[in-house]
Structure 1
Amino acid sequence: MSGDGTAVYLYGVTRGLDPAALNGATGVDAEPVRAVTAAGLTALVSTARLDRYGEQALRANLEDLRFLEDTARAHHDVVGLAARNAPTAPVRIATLYRDEDRVRQVLTQRREHFTRVLDGITGRTEWGVKAYAHPPQAAQEPDRGSGGGGAGTAYLRRRQDQRRRRERAARHLAGLAEGLHDDHAHRFVESARAAGDRLDGIEVEVTGPWPPYSFITAQDGTGE
C-alpha cells in the first residue's frame, strides 16, 4: 500500500474504451475514476482510503448496510458506464491493490484470462426477464363431484379434486411458458415486453441491459 494511507480500488477490466467516456465519472467516496492501461487492456480504478477499505476496516464496514449499499452502487455505476461504451468485465466489490504498478502487473500477468472473458461478452448484452404466471379461474375452481359417502369418501374426493386442479394448472402454465419462449426467437426485447399483453395469464417484467456480472476473480486477492 502507498505511504499516504490509500490504495487503488479496481472496478473492472475493459478493452477499447475511449478515455473520454470516463470524464467526470466518480466511484467510491466520490473519488474520480481513471484508466490504467497495460497489455492492451484498461483497468478502471480510483483512489480508496485504507481507513475505510483496508482489510481490517472493511471487515467492520461491510456489516454497515449503508456503507455496503453506497459501495455497491458506486461500483455498479462505474462498471455500467464503461459497459455502455466498450466490453467490460467487472470484478468483485472492494478489490484493492497497493498501487497502479501492481494493477498493470496484474493486467499483464492475466492478459490471457481477461482477453478470453472480454471475447466472450463482446457483442452481447445481459437482460433480466421475469415472467409471472397467473392460472385462469377455471384451473383454480374445485371439481363438484356427486355427493354421498362418509367422511373418508369426502376426504378422498377433496384430494382427487386438488390433484386434478394442480394438473390442469400445470398444463396451462406449461403451455404459456412455451409460447413465451417461442416469442424470444426474434427481436428478444420487443417480444418479451409485448408478451405480457399478448399471452393470457402472463405478466412479463424486463430489466437491463446489465453489465456481465459473472465476476472475474483476481487470483492474488485483495490488498496486494
Structure 2
Amino acid sequence: MYTPAAFQETRLPVLHAAIDAIAFASLVSSAASGLQVSHVPLLLAPQEGPYGTLYGHIARANAHAACSGTASLAIFLGPHAYISAGWYPGRKTHGREVPTWNYIAVHAHGILETFDDPAALRQHLRELSGRHERAMPEPWRLDEAPADYIDQNLKAIIGLRLPIERLEGKWKLSQNRSEADREGVLAALQSLGDDASLDMANAIREANVRHEKGVG
C-alpha cells in the first residue's frame, strides 16, 4: 500500500483497535484461476503470533475455500469521506486546490488456512457472535439455538484462519495540510452533519493531535 510518511500508522495497539472496530474485511487470495475475493467479518485474536491472527468463515461452496496455503490480504476500510477543494481557504485566494479523499485503511497480510472441525467452528461462531452481540440490549448467544440446527449449519461453512505476517496502516487524514486548511475541512464536515462526516471529523482531530506530537 502506497503510504507517505505523514499517513503511516505503525503502532500495533492502534492497528488492532481499528481491526476490531471495523470488523468487516475484503479478503483477497491468490488462486490458480486468478484472485478470489470475499467480503467477510473477521475476528482478531491479538495474542496469536507477533501481529495477531484473524478468524472468519465462508460458505463451503465458495471457491475461496480452495485457497488454503495461498498468500492472502485482508483489507479493513474505516471511515472515509470526499474532501472538497472548496473547503480550503486557498480556493478564494490563489485557487490552486484540488479535491481528495480521506480514509483509514488497514492491510493484514498472511498465508490463508482453512479448518472444518465442528468443535472449532462452533467455538469460532460463539466468539464472533459474542463480539457483535455485546452492544445489544439482550445479546443473543449461539447456545440458545438448538444444537442440531447449529450442527446442520456448520456443515455448510468452512473456517478461515489468517496468521498475520505483515500489518500496514494508512491514516490519510489531512496531516499534510496547514492548520487553516484542516479547520476549513472540519467546519465543512461538521456542517454536513451526517454520521460519516462526523466520524471523519473526529478521525481528523485525533490523527492530527498525534501528528503534531510526533506520535504514529
The TM-score normalised by the length of structure 2 is 0.25
Q: Which has the larger radius of gyration?
A: 1
Higher strand share: 2
Higher helix share: 1
The TM-score normalised by the length of structure 1 is 0.25
